[in-house]
A = this chain, B = another copy of it.
Amino acid sequence: MKALVITDGALNLEERPTPEPAADQVVIEVAGAGVNRADLLQLKGGYAAPPGWPEDVPGLEFSGIVAARGPGCRWIGDGDHVFGIAGGGAHATHLLVPEGLCAPAPDGLDLVSAGGIPEVFVTAFDALVKQAHLKLGERVLIHGAGSGVGTAAVQIVRAVGATSVGTARTPAKLERARELGLDAGVTASDDMAAAIGEVDVVLDLVGGDYLSIDTAVCRPRGRILLVGLLAGAEARLDMGTVLRKRLTVIGTVLRSRPEHEKAAAVADFGRSVVPLLTDGKLRPVIERVVPLDRAEEAYGFVRSNSTFGKVVLSAQV
């Protein structure tokens, strides 16, 4: 097998021994694997893989075909088309993962593009539905509506029967997000809070000083989900407003969760999100597909913040 290996801050495609599955593990012949911001952080040396996963191969999600399986597998079969999440190692031609982190991939989806689905749809569904308990008729603010998680969130908000207002760097990104169902869009301005209006839930993929906007625009009992910190990891919190409005601020991240929690999130994804992908009510938003041997280019696209939706590595090199 070939794997994208981080050596001294650089990416190199190297030959590695193809793993053998044990217990409940499967070996996936990777079709596609999304590039996430966590991969960029890991390349810079700032985001180590959790224990039990390849230390030097990035890649947190995958799609592909089951090539081998351990004796403890329960439902997965050789040749099955699956997609799912990993603690690392997905930027390769083959990947060893527990069966519990895989979900069956619908026939109607392009299998390579499907490698850009799991991380953002699991994250958005888990944050909005499982943690924020988003309800029909509520209004959601999405900071970073043109990002991978943002484009998944816009669609999930609509599927729940809620409405959305999104922020993005450029009007062009907001225009494309509107095509996915975003109800209102706001770019950075002097008085963003007034332009946004009142909301019940915030999905904050940006962090930094946006936190003060989040508390200002929330209605009583609002829920603020902190999912990304591109704009900074520290901010002033107006605790008076948090108390008076009885707000909840929740930090969430997928990668560092224990495996049984990841498996629970993937099971929820398989049960609640995949059927909507199958019948076209949700759709992957893929900016572009780049072959694994041009990974630097793909990482560069994500780093540029100019992409709309996902960049996916195609593993067939």
Which A residues lie at the B interface, using CB under 8 A?
A: 207, 211, 226-227, 229, 232-253, 256-257
Contacts and interface: CB of A to CB of B under 8 A. Distances in A.
Contacts of A227: 243
B253 A244 contact: yes
B250 A248 contact: yes
Given A237-B237, A243-B251, A246-B257, 7 more contacts: A229-B243, A233-B240, A235-B237, A236-B236, A244-B256, A247-B251, A248-B250
B239 A246 contact: no
A251 B215 CA distance: 11
Contact of A237 (B236, B245, B252, B256): B236
A237 B239 CA distance: 10
Contacts of A236: 234-237
Given A236-B237, A237-B236, A249 B248 contact: yes
Contacts of A226: 239, 242-243
8 contacts: A226-B242, A232-B239, A234-B236, A234-B238, A235-B239, A239-B251, A242-B249, A247-B250
Nearest to A227: B243
Given A237-B235, A239-B229, A239-B234, A251 B256 contact: no
Closest 8 CB pairs of A and B: A242-B251, A233-B240, A237-B237, A243-B251, A249-B249, A248-B250, A233-B239, A247-B251
Contacts of A246: 250-253, 256-257
A250 to B, nearest CB: 5
Contacts of A253: 243-244, 246
Contacts of A238: 233-234
Contacts of A256: 244, 246
A211 B237 contact: yes
